[in-house]
Chains A and B, each alone.
Chain A
Amino acid sequence: MGLDFTVVPSYFGVLLMGSGWTVAITVCAGLLSFFGGIIFAVTALYGHWSLRLPVRGFAFLFMGTPLLLQLFLIYFGLIQIGIDLPAFLAGVIGLGLHFAVYNSELIQASILAVDKGQYEGARTLGLSRGQTLRRIVIPQAIHAVIPPMGNNMIALLKDSALVSVIGVMELTLAAQQAISRTYRPFEFYLAAAFCYYIVNLALEAGLRSLERRIAASR
């Protein structure tokens, strides 16, 4: 059948729209994974035992199984218990939780790596355990863990393609729409790959400048 890239430009709009959704999904899931990561980490380290175990178990489950499987669980599984989530929400929640778990591991390690002297200094001044954690330890831990979490963001962006499988409109699905009209999968999947690559470069550049600003503020 051969290749014919001339069909691609007329679908720029579709691909652009898809890219926009991909960025939106990445941002939403990214935020969820950031804050979720912090919550999971703090709970896993300092929470009541009744909370610690489920969180640890959940983390174990989500790190040991494929993201796609988790997306299926959230999208189809919640329907079983009566929650009918729109695909977009299921996709964002699935991505967000998946990476929240990985971020949580990073954050836990970072919290434990904060020099013990910080604790002692704060407690000696009279701060309570909670205050010490909230004001002194966790801010420092998070500061240190932003670069590795940036790598998780990049992975999240690429993994966002998976939500197309549960029918969420984003770049991959947009490409599939174009393919269903033109029957040219190679050209459009390549175009989609190109778009992902560009967004990836932009994200990497953004993360690098963020890291530089953080390093400078020290």
Chain B
Amino acid sequence: MLRVYPFFLEAAVVTIELSVLTALLGLTCGALGAAARMSRLTILRWIGATYVSLWRGTPALIQVFILYFGGPQIGIQLDSFAAGTIALGVNIGAYMTETIRGAIVSVDKGQTEAARTLGMSRWQTMHKVVLPQAARMMIRPLGVNINALIKGTALVAPISVVELTYTAQRFIGSTYKPFEMFLLSGLLYMVIIYVVGHGINWLDRRARII
């Protein structure tokens, strides 16, 4: 049993790498998506809404498969780690779009009115008044998205990325101890989620003081 520990620790590192990269890509897509959905241009709003609808309305696993297995057909050759990260990142970005947009929209309308009344432009208002307030409010819900994202990295196991779930399955086969393998990888997932959760809470608390 002891011989498997190093493999699981390595796999945990891969899971962490996947999580970080996916989160960064997701936040980027989320910010772009939110900006698109709130744009003055109808075409951008439509693109944003379609992005959210399609990527939230279909299974993430299928999105991974389309990119990894189907990509070569349209000239996109990616290794499994990259394909998985990109597909999952764009997927979680659709959820983060709604989280970010929700936070921005929840800032009281009177704030915008006051800023515009003083003569500030739309962008100045967004930049100095609305976004600072929205940013504070979106930390917790984004934390929920990130929590789901960390567990979602398991979806790259079927395309053979050597992360925690893949490793668990691999060793279930050779050790015939599924419960132990489940518990080991489960524990590592929970540690990662716990640490990240604390980070989010800390960030949230700091944001409220400023």
- Per the CB under 8 Å rule, do A and B touch in the complex? yes
Residues in chain A within 8 A of chain B (CB atoms)? 1-3, 61, 64-70, 72-73, 76-77, 79-80, 158-162, 164-165, 172, 179, 184-187, 189-190, 192-193, 196-197, 200-201
Q: What are 11 of the A-B contact pairs (CB < 8 Å)?
A: A64-B190, A64-B193, A68-B155, A80-B178, A160-B59, A179-B69, A185-B66, A186-B66, A186-B69, A186-B70, A186-B74
Please state if A159 and B59 are interface contacts (CB–CB under 8 Å).
yes
A73 and B66 in contact (CB under 8 A), knowing A64-B186, A158-B58, A161-B59? no
In Å, the complex CA distance between A68 and B58 comes to 17
In the complex, the answer to whether A161 meets B62 with C-beta atoms within 8 Å is yes
A residues in contact with B63, CB < 8 Å: 193
Q: Within 8 Å CB of A72, what residues of B? A: 165, 168-169, 172, 178, 182
- Among residues of A, the one whose C-beta sits closest to the C-beta of B73 is A186
Q: How far is the CA of A164 from the CA of B158 in the complex (A)?
A: 10
Closest CB in chain A relative to B39 CB, distance in Å: 24
Q: Are B59 and A158 in contact, with the CB atoms below 8 A?
A: yes
CB atoms of A77 and B178 under 8 A apart: yes
Contacts of B69 in A (CB 8 A): 179, 185-186, 189
Of B57, B60, B152, which contacts A200 at CB under 8 A? B57
When chains A and B are docked, how far (Å) is the Cα of A2 from the Cα of B169?
A: 34
Instruction: Mark B145-161 against chain A: 1 for CB-CB distance below 8 A, else 0.
Output: 00000011111011000
Indicate if the CB atoms of B62 and A172 lie closer than 8 Å. yes
B154 touches A67 (CB 8 A): yes
Given contacts A72-B172, A172-B59, A185-B65, contact A197 B186 (CB under 8 A): no
CA gap between A64 and B152 in the complex, in Å: 11
What is the bound-complex CA distance between A64 and B168, given in angstroms?
16
Asked if B54 CB lies within 8 Å of chain A CBs, one says yes
CA A184 – CA B70 in complex, angstroms? 7
Nearest chain B CB to A15 CB, angstrom units:
13
Q: Are A65 and B186 in contact (CB under 8 A)?
A: yes
The distance from the CB of A135 to the nearest CB of chain B, in whole angstroms, is 35
- B19-65 contacts to A, CB under 8 A, are 54, 57-63, 65
- Asked whether B70 lies within 8 Å of A77 as measured between CB atoms, the reply is no
For B71, the chain A residues whose CB sits under 8 A away are 186
Do residues A66 and B59 form an inter-chain contact, with CB atoms below 8 A? no
Tell me the complex Cα distance, A69–B169, Å.
8
Closest 5 pairs between A and B when the two form their complex, measured CB to CB = A186-B70, A66-B154, A77-B178, A185-B69, A161-B59
Q: A196 — which chain B residues lie within 8 A by C-beta?
A: 57-59, 62
How many angstroms between the C-alpha atoms of A111 and B46 in the bound complex? 40
Nearest CB on B from A102, distance (A): 11
A69 to B158 Cα, complex, angstroms: 11
Which of the residues A69, A172, A184, A189 comes within 8 Å of B182, measured between beta carbons? A69
The reply to whether B62 and A162 contact each other, CB–CB distance below 8 Å, is no
A190 nearest in chain B by CB position = B66
Chain A proximity of B105: nearest CB distance (Å): 19
CB of B85 closer than 8 Å to a CB of A = no
CB A94 to nearest CB in B, in angstroms, measures 12
| Cβ–Cβ < 8 Å partners of B190 in chain A | 64-65
Which of A3, A73, A184 has the most B CB atoms < 10 Å from its CB?
A73
